[in-house]
Amino acid sequence: MAEPRVVIVGAGGAAHALTGLLRALGNDAQIDIFTDRPYAGYVVCEQPYFLRGRVGFDDMFYARKGWYEKVGARIHYETPVQAVDRERKVVETSAGAFPYDVLVLNTGAEPAAPPIPGLDGVREYHLTSDVRRCLSFAEAVDGARRAVVIGAGAIGLEVAEGLVERGFERVTVVEGEGHVLPRALDPDLAAGLEQRIRDRGVDLRTGVRVRSVRTEGPDKVVELPDGEIRADFVLLATGVRPRVELARAAGLEIGPTGGIAVDPFLRTRDPSVYAVGDCMETWERITGHRRPVLPMLASHTNRSGRLVARNIHHGPRFEYPGTCLPFGIELFGVTVATCGLTGALAERWGLDTVAVRSRGVLAKPQLGGERVEIKVRALRTNGRIVGVQAVGGPGTARMIDRAVLAVGEGVPPHRLSLYETVYSPTLNVAYDAFTQAVDRLLVEGGWS
């Protein structure tokens, strides 16, 4: 059978992973990738580090110009796909119509601007996967001294840290929720981090809603309930939503979260059309109930691209496992790593959970070990672990990788308590911090 004609709309991380794996599997499909941008093949997540001067612009690119051609895929830069004609199996682009046997939608996400009165687009910036936005933001940062960042999620805080490093006179971060990183952390674990952020010079305002923003000459004036702040620019780090207009116009189903609905093989309701990455709705593998979620994360993007490569090559037989919502960040020398549900999300989903907090070390401090604070959350009904949060040194992220496996596979805490871990004095302690937290959960939850 002839290899299929594969058309991919979007040249994000998912398209790259898909193309690379298809070729590694020896698949000679004709591949056409369309992007409405002039760039592709860079690590989107490194943009805050580019702004901080820790990586150069070229360093962000994992696919050099020429990579797609080298693997025999045609990439069409600055060529928006305007419509999908599913009946004729053709995409309409600014460069003409292209037929497909298999279509993959990798259309990513777009900024979800909050409804703040007065936003006028003047010296207001968003960071998205479009590196051109980052370049124009970098220009605004040069020569500026005062910033307001709206949103204390990962991107807002990473940028705020960079601005402090650059010696900004004032960096104000305004967060409407009661604490930083509200999608990943509970307030009690966020408290120490917030102290660190303030100690390092960020004017952090949590639980504060921006009333309005206006432009006054060279100033942006941000109105808060207790006064106004003047800044040279405003960064809107208020999240993104899936970019689904093409899919919607093509009559494909959009799920309750706003992402493109897919089946376990990542096919849309049209079996010739797959969706991958940020534009697609997936499901959690935390509670056993497969609730729809939008992870908007790089590892999810990469995994979905690789899975679809397998399903194109072998036929649709590999199921996507869903997500445990893993999250990690390093801020002002503190690592935060989490997976599963926060207390707030558990509550929103109507789940009765029990959580314990515990302190430990990732090795003895005298031997360079890091301290870590851990919170483990389980369903009260059966002790299934549905959330783990940790704040500590860099080793914290590795520990959460183990927690992801436990949460995703539904490993009962009794078994987890007896799992082996690598031990040598400089690497760990024999009774490691995560296991200690799980044991505490067993006792306090009444399961021990």
Ligand X SMILES: Cc1cc2nc3c(=O)[nH]c(=O)nc-3n(C[C@H](O)[C@H](O)[C@H](O)COP(=O)(O)OP(=O)(O)OC[C@H]3O[C@@H](n4cnc5c(N)ncnc54)[C@H](O)[C@@H]3O)c2cc1C
For residues 68 and 429, which CB has a smaller minimum distance to ligand X in the complex? 68
Which residue is associated with the tokens 């942006």?
220
Under a CB-based contact definition with an 8 Å cutoff, are residues 209 and 176 in contact?
Answer: yes
Nearest approach, Cβ of 237 to ligand X (angstroms)?
9
Nearest approach, Cβ of 240 to ligand X (angstroms)?
7
Nearest approach, Cβ of 235 to ligand X (angstroms)?
11
Nearest approach, Cβ of 259 to ligand X (angstroms)?
10
Nearest approach, Cβ of 364 to ligand X (angstroms)?
30
How crowded is residue 142: how many other Cβ atoms within 10 Å of its Cβ?
8
Dist CA 434 CA 428 (whole Å): 11
Nearest approach, Cβ of 323 to ligand X (angstroms)?
11
Nearest approach, Cβ of 48 to ligand X (angstroms)?
6
Nearest approach, Cβ of 77 to ligand X (angstroms)?
9
- What is the binding site for ligand X (CB under 6 A)? 9-14, 34-37, 40, 44-45, 47-48, 80-81, 106-109, 127-129, 155, 243, 246, 277-278, 296-299, 301
Nearest approach, Cβ of 399 to ligand X (angstroms)?
17
For residues 123 and 243, which CB has a smaller minimum distance to ligand X in the complex? 243
For residues 35 and 428, which CB has a smaller minimum distance to ligand X in the complex? 35
SS3 annotation, the chain: CCCCEEEEECCCHHHHHHHHHHHHCCCCCEEEEECCCCCCCECHHHHHHHHCCCCCCHHHECCCCCHHHHCCEEEECCCCEEEEECCCCEEEECCEEEECCEEEECCCEEECCCCCCCCCCCCEECCCCCHHHHHHHHHHHCCCCEEEEECCCHHHHHHHHHHHHCCCCEEEEEECCCCCCCCCCCHHHHHHHHHHHHHCCEEEEECCCCCEEEEECCEEEEEECCEEEEECEEEECCCEEECCHHHHHCCCCECCCCCECCCCCCECCCCCEEECHHHECEEECCCCCCCEECCCCHHHHHHHHHHHHHHHHHCCCCCCCCECCCEEEEECCEEEEEEECCHHHHHHCCCCEEEEEEEEECCCHHHCCCEEEEEEEEECCCCCEEEEEEEECCCHHHHHHHHHHHHHHCCCHHHHHCCCCCCCCCCCCCCCHHHHHHHHHHHHCCCC
For residues 294 and 416, which CB has a smaller minimum distance to ligand X in the complex? 294
